[in-house]
A and B are shown apart, each in its own frame.
Chain A
Amino acid sequence: MKKIEAIIKPFKLDEVKEALSEIGIQGMTVSEVKGFGRQKGHKETYRGAEYAIEFVPKIKIEVVVSNALADRAIQAIVSKAKTGTIGDGKIFVTDLSQAVRIRTGESGDSAL
């Protein structure tokens, strides 16, 4: 099993979600997050007081998939979340040792 964490632009969430559903992924967790990478932040001005807002709002998607699906899932996210401009985000993939469905007690791939 692999855990895929993708940090994407907020307005890309719907497209990415649909693409992941199409390849058979049945669940995901989404959070509103803030952070910065090469995009850096932006400047806000209130009555002349300028503030550098370094942490930019992003969406973090977490999905856990079987090893067989991992590459296709990554591909789907990349193709849908990409705009080509700086700040499109990143994908982090980790090996996952266990998953359990709480209701039935199923574990491993069948819990996904």
Chain B
Amino acid sequence: MRNHRMLFGLTGVLLLLAVFALIPGLGSAQETVPPSTAGAAGAPSEAPQAPPPPPKVDTGDTAWVLTSSALVLAMTAPGLVLFYGGMVRRKNALGTMMHSFIILCLISVQWVLYGYSMAFGPDKGHIVGGLEWVGLHGVGLDPNTDYGATVPHQAFMIFQLMFAVITPALIVGAFAERIKFSAFLVFTLLWATFIYDPLAHWVWGVGGWLRNLGALDFAGGTVVHISSGVSGLACALYLGKRLGYGREVMAPHNIPLTLTGASLLWFGWFGFNAGSAVASGALATSAFVVTNTATAAAALAWMFAEWGYRGKPTVLGAASGAVAGLVAITPASGFVGPMSSIIIGIGAGVFCYFAAVVLKGKLGYDDSLDAFGVHGIGGTWGAIATGLFASKAINPGGNDGLFFGNPAQMIPQLVAVAASWILALVGTFIILKVVDIIMGLRVTEDEERVGLDLSQHNENGYVL
């Protein structure tokens, strides 16, 4: 009963926020014209000097950003839905798929209500965006020159929404097969609000302190991958192991689904990385090329590492390696050339293989689907590698890295890595503790044995 009340409470909060957002939202419909008239009215003597016209929308750029937004959506559903869904045991297939799918729904609403404003709204103390853009108040169809001078502000907003969606969905891999659905919903909402939104502001928001420091993160190595991977580690440590871990067979129930999901992640990642140019042209093309190259190199590296170390090249290994490569090239994708991307990919395949296979075994935590091993380690490697391989020859708007004559770039990179680690680890522990006290995080032993499909959803993934 307690859980039900909690859930109704959560729904209530969301509804309240929606109503709250509606009030300024109503105003914004009328205010799309007034800013120019208001300026003119305030200074009648300068009437001949018309205010500068809003920057012009470029149709090519807008087409690419909207397409990229849809591609990044495909990374969560069906990409992660299948990737994670195939990796769990049969009795948890639906429960795990539901996690990613519902995050897509929950964060889509959260982002429009207040998430975008907290991440990209007017800066407050270099830490968080203000609430001026709650309910997309003032986020209209003219370009915002800070974030995308040639696309409608709402196009940038919806592109960023897809990032806000996939990040908590990546954490799912760490607590899979044992979290209570109601607690998962509350955790996700709190995590998005108190970890993702501020961190996105630090790195990407105008005025954010890591952005001011000069840390390079093209498409979200820190914001998306370190934050989700390290939070995944916190979840795995806090929740403890699954029942029977290390004794019972916990083999993936459907690796073909996982491979399909990994392939869709790869497909969608072109929107993630090449779309992060927020323009269609040279930079997007360069990001596209290095993304594909690093991913392929990483899949090969993981496969060969496993072949050498354990004797057989596995399909799950090749799929995992590809995802590790995608993760690692993410922060670097707008700053490095193709040869650097091969090295980044090889590093990702090897480091993530040893993190998921050796490190996890040695340290004994149960990161069910290796959210930390792939995203935490891959993201950290990618952020550091960006400081090593970045080159102004690729992106004049970026900076040179260590191997291109600028060792100083390592400092903001390492600061960004450390800051993301600390926020994710500490923040996630606090949120887990709070949710645990309020409603309990983990399903009962009986429910865990029966599986999440039946115990949480009264359904069965497979009736045949």
Contact = CB atoms under 8 A, between A and B. Distances in A.
Give the size range of B's interface with the partner.
10 to 19
Interface string A43-69: 011111101010000000000000000
Contact of A47 (B249, B312, B356): B356
Contact of A51 (B249, B316, B320, B356): B249
Interface in A46-102: 46-49, 51, 53
A44 B249 CA distance: 10
Contacts of B312: 45
A48 B251 contact: no
Interface string B134-174: 00000000000000000000000000000000000000000
Contacts of B3: none
B361 A48 contact: yes
B317 A53 contact: no
Q: Which of B249, B250, B317 has the most chain A CB atoms inside 10 A of its CB?
A: B249
Contacts of A47: 314, 316-317, 320, 356-357, 370
B99 to A, nearest CB: 20
Contact of A45 (B314, B356, B370): B314
Contacts of B316: 46-47
A43 to B, nearest CB: 10
A44 B357 contact: no
Contacts of A49: 250-251
A48 B249 contact: no
B85 to A, nearest CB: 15
Say what secondary structure dominates the interface of chain A: strand
A46 B356 contact: no
Interface in B314-346: 314, 316-317, 320
Q: Chain A interface: which size bin?
A: under 10
Contacts of A46: 250-252, 314, 316
A53 B248 CA distance: 11
Which of A44, A45, A47 counts the most B-chain CB atoms under 10 A from its CB? A47
Given A46-B314, A48-B310, A53 B249 contact: yes
Contact of B358 (A45, A48, A51): A48
Nearest to B250: A49
Contacts of B249: 51, 53
Contacts of B314: 45-47
Contacts of B310: 45, 48
A105 to B, nearest CB: 35
A47 B353 CA distance: 8
A20 B312 CA distance: 40
Contacts of B251: 44, 46, 49, 51
B328 to A, nearest CB: 18
Contacts of B320: 47
Interface string B279-322: 00000000000000000000000000000001010101100100
A44 B253 CA distance: 13
B351 to A, nearest CB: 14
A45 B313 CA distance: 10
A96 B270 CA distance: 67
Contacts of A45: 310, 312, 314
Nearest to A52: B249
A51 B247 CA distance: 9
A47 B309 CA distance: 12
A44 B370 CA distance: 18
Nearest to A47: B356
Interface string A19-42: 000000000000000000000000
A40 to B, nearest CB: 16
Interface in B356-374: 356-358, 360-361, 370
Nearest to B310: A45
Contacts of B361: 48
Interface string B67-103: 0000000000000000000000000000000000000
Nearest to B302: A47
A62 B360 CA distance: 47
Given A47-B314, A48-B360, A51-B251, 8 more contacts: A45-B310, A45-B312, A46-B252, A46-B316, A47-B356, A48-B356, A48-B358, A53-B249
The 5 closest A-B pairs by CB, nearest first: A48-B357, A51-B249, A47-B356, A46-B251, A46-B316
20 contacts: A44-B251, A45-B314, A46-B250, A46-B251, A46-B252, A46-B314, A46-B316, A47-B314, A47-B316, A47-B320, A47-B356, A47-B357, A48-B356, A48-B357, A48-B360, A49-B250, A49-B251, A51-B249, A51-B250, A53-B249
